[in-house]
Amino acid sequence: MSHTTVEILLIPAQRRRENSAGMATALASSAQPIAGEQTCIRVLIVDAHPLMRAGIRAVLASMPDAEIVGEAATGADAVRLTEQQSPDVVLMDIDTYDDAGLAATKRLTVGDAPPRVIALTMLSDNETMVQALRAGASGLISKDATEDDLVAALRTAGSGEIYIRPRTLSLLAASVRRRLLSPQERSARARYEELSERERAVLEYVARGLTGPEIGERLRINAKTVDTYRHRIREKIGLLHRADYIRFALVIGLLKN
């Protein structure tokens, strides 16, 4: 955790005393309940580090519309406490070496009336964002975020919406655009789907440079049968030479390089 994180998010006691007036004003401004909102957001804090949990606890204590219903250090404990306490929002640490945080997020976000999960992470790369959202998270917030960001994330998730900061949203959109298939890729994928499972195997092996006898040995068929499959591939999607196979396999992602 960076020094910035310690100063901004964890709010050590000495710093709170030294800056009590300024901090109180900032938190009072950010922690006002939304007009007309009377419900209290029940929050479960999940993080492997006691200092991080203490920092989050300090911020939530300044929110009149938030209530901490429990704390957990692991994904397994988070699942157990969620069943017992029924929180509205779970702040979930996903920086675990075994992806336990993501696994717990998937478990928590299924079923009837699941809690909203906000992923907590030190990472800010596109892949982490995509993984968190795919796991069912209602948002992602960096562990070096400000108190205002955390408050906004909680209230957004508590109202049933997804919290993504504008900068994060632009990064995510760029990532999604890169993942979208081009017209050429969509066309190739559609033609690839026309092949049988055995024909797809032959296509990949030819693209990788295996000979007819070598492919036959892999698939436990004779070389003549391999030629029959190659003829069918030519009829269905127009591949003739090995170069054609390589280009096609690269387009649909069968070959990485």
Give yes or no on whether 3-178 and 183-252 have one common fold. Answer: no
Q: How far apart are CA 73 and CA 69, in angstroms?
A: 14
Question: How much is the pLDDT for 113?
Answer: 85
Could you tell me whether strands 41-46 and 66-72 are parallel, antiparallel, or unpaired per DSSP bridges?
parallel
Q: How many angstroms separate the CA atoms of 73 and 45, rounded?
A: 8
pLDDT at 7: 28
d(CA 230, CA 200): 10
Q: Which residue has the tokens 């209602």?
A: 138
pLDDT, tens digit, for every residue of 7-20? Answer: 223 233 333 333 33
The predicted structure's pLDDT at residue 70: 96
Write out the DSSP string of 163-210. Answer: B--HHHHHHHHHHHHHHSPPHHHHHHHHHHHTS-HHHHHHHHHHHTT-
Superfamily in which the 3-178 domain is placed by CATH? Response regulator (3.40.50.2300)
Both tokens of 197, joined, read 């499972």
| Fold of the domain built from segment(s) 183-252 | Arc Repressor Mutant, subunit A (1.10.10)
What is the reported pLDDT for 171?
A: 60
Closest CA to 143 of 241, 209, 45: 45
**pLDDT confidence of residue 180:** 62
The amino acid that residue 167 corresponds to is R
The predicted pLDDT at position 124 comes to 64
pLDDT of residue 110: 85
pLDDT along the chain (257 residues), means of 10: 32 34 28 52 95 95 95 93 95 84 91 89 75 84 90 91 70 60 81 94 93 95 95 94 87 74
The residue ranges of every structural domain in the chain are 3-178, 183-252
Task: Give per-residue pLDDT as tens, 63-103.
Answer: 999 999 999 999 999 999 999 999 999 999 998 767 889 99
